Each structure stands twice: as structure tokens, then as C-alpha cells.
Structure 1
Amino acid sequence: MKTYYYPIVSTLLFVLSVIAFSDNLFTDVGQKSNSDPKFIVHGLFMFAWFGTFVAQSYFIARKKYAVHMKWGKVGFVLAIGVFLSTLYVFIAIFKGWDAMEPFVKANRLLMVSFATFILLAYLYRKDRIKHKRFIFWAIVLPIEPIMGRVSEVFQVDNWQLFYILVWHAFFLSFFVYDWQSLKRIHPISWLAVGWFYITWAIAIYS
């Protein structure tokens, strides 16, 4: 599990993202959003970021540490692009906090944690334990857009339950990974899950 957890999770997230946006990529390429620059730029950054995450996971699994460090700089730049392009989409589409649905509010707050955790991952890039945990939680917390699109593809009736199950499956799997590798749940993991619940409380009740 120590060796293959990240390659498996990164590949799964990449596959889910492809399924989520399969209409844009394969089945409905003529849709309006495919000719909208802000969505094109955002989509390119997202797929490049997820692709880099997958590659980075396999580099570590194969002990290609020098390559991992080299591509880490590329990944950091792509992460900045993901954050800025997402922020622009939020500003362009959603006019004010009160006009947002709870899941949109949660997405906006979780993108803040994405930026924060990515920055911390970069600053702690020489600390293997902290670095990989900041990366994981940066990616897993703001996956609602992917889950939403996947639930539409598979015509899931109870999308709220689907969200809960998918998110908590990732949370539980990482807690198991923490325990297998450290014999404890790392404070970063507790912090990330705590922030997740706080985010949704703010989104629902604000």
C-alpha cells in the first residue's frame, strides 16, 4: 500500500475526470462550452494537472526521484493555472455569494484549501511525509465538479449520497494509508477533514 496507493488513487481520479467530462471530450464536442475560452483554458490546465499528478505518482513508485523533483516544478505552475482559471470561472459565472448554491460555495472555499495545500506542499517538498499529504488533500477535497458530472453520466438518483460515499471512501482510504505507513493518523489528515466539514457547514448555513 505504501508503494502503490498514490498511483492507484491518482489514476482513479484521472479516470473519473475523463468520465466526468466525456461529453466535452468525445460525445458532444460541438457544445457551446467547448468554444468558450475560459472553459477551454480551465479544462486544459485541469487535465494537464491531473496527468502530471498521475505521472508524479508513478515516478515515486519507481524511485525516479530526480525526475519527480523536476516535474514537480511543472506541476506547481500547472496548479497555479488551475487555481487562477477556476477563480476566473467563478467570477464570470456566479454573481455574488448569496446567489450561489451551497455546493458552489463549498467549491469556492475548497479551492482556497487547494491553493493553500499546494503552496505548503511546495514549501515542504523536502519533507516527504508532509509533502505527499498536502498534495493528496489539495486534490481530493475540491472534486465536487468531477463527482457531479460523473453522477450525471451514470444517472445517479441520490447525488447527495453519492457525494458522501465517494468523498468518505477517499478519506477512509487515506486514513488506512496513514495508519499503514505511520501507525497513526497524521495531523494534516485530521486538519483537512476538519476543514472539509467546516466548509460545508459554512456553505449550507451562510
Structure 2
Amino acid sequence: MTISSKLDLLREVEAEHRFGVIIEPPTGVDPFPEAPPGALEAYQLFSRLEGSHLSFRQPAELLSREAWLTRDTNPHCPLGSPVSIGTELVQGPAQIYLDPFDGRVYYIESDYYVLLYKGSFGDSQLEDGLYVEYAPDLVTFVDEFVLGPRYPELIGAGSMTWLDKKGRYRDSWLRLLGAAGLLGAPPTFTEPAERLLLPGPTAYRRHLTTPD
């Protein structure tokens, strides 16, 4: 299925079940060459996707060419002033970032970003799970992670077992994907999640076995 057809399906399922998710239409931004590869192709299809734990919004920096060219940047940032495209709503304030140059999508744990900023170590010394590159571009990320079977990887090892009293997923977006048949075979976790661990990017990925 294309991203567009997945979004149409999710709108229908949400209208039927009313899980409380948000799917907002695109803003109609015109493409411009300076944008990260794949970013505007994704935002031609939506401007906001939000469940109870994660929110994915079109950043203000990508609302127009002028906004992108005049965005605030930090010349000392070791990651090149990435743009936040996803925000954790429960434990927070973890962010999922878009690289402004090559368009890759990733998460980095805040304490390790600080060490990078201070020049304490190089990229190769980042511990597994504290820097996670999800996809080479935003289109792939949205298709596989936000609208597909790899979504549980974003919300951690507790996501598939964190249920409400009725036995349903507590994460409303996970519930929507399941009802729409878009979860497929969920990822396998090598260890059970900690009992009090809530879903979210701060639920480190060290318990996760990802596909090759």
C-alpha cells in the first residue's frame, strides 16, 4: 500500500472506532530544492499524525522555502542543527529528528547528545540504543514506522504488553494500526520490558531485535 492509501484507510478506521487519534491534511507547501531529501514528499500527504504517545508534525521550518532558509541554526551543533519531526507525549521530551542535509531520521538520547556537543567522544562510541537511525528519509520512516509494522520500535519494549483493563493497547495509534491491519508481524523483543516502563523513545531500544 502507498502512504496515501494507508492514510485513507486509517481515516476510515478512525471514523468507525474513534480511538482519538489525529490525522491532519497537508498544508500544501510548494517543493523547494533546499529541503532535505524526501521531506516535502511526505508532507504533501499530511501535516500532523498523533496518537496518545507520539506526535508527528510538519515542522515550522518546512512550511515554506523562506522558513527553511531563515531557520535558526547552531553552528556548534555536532549534528548540524537537526529538525524535530516527532515528539514523545508521555515521558518526554524525547524528540525524533530529521537530518537537514541528507534527510535521514533518527533518535539520540539527550545525555549523549550533550557529550557529543562537548566533544567527549565520537559517533562510533555511542552505546547501542542511545543513537538509533530509523530510516534514510522521511518517506521511508513514515511508511514503515509511523504507518507500518515497525511502529512498536518507536515506543519501546513495553508497547506490545502495555494494555488497559479491557486488554487493548494503551497507545491509541498502535490500536489504530492494529484495527486497520497495518501492524503485520510485530518486532521481537529479546527481554521483557521493565514493569513500570512506559512506551516512548526513552524506552531504550536495547531490548529490541530488529530485522536484518
**TM-score computed with the length of structure 2 as normaliser:** 0.30
Choose between structure 1 and 2: higher helix proportion: 1
Q: Which has the higher contact order (CA 8 A, sep 6+)?
A: 1
Choose between structure 1 and 2: higher strand proportion: 2
**TM-score computed with the length of structure 1 as normaliser:** 0.31
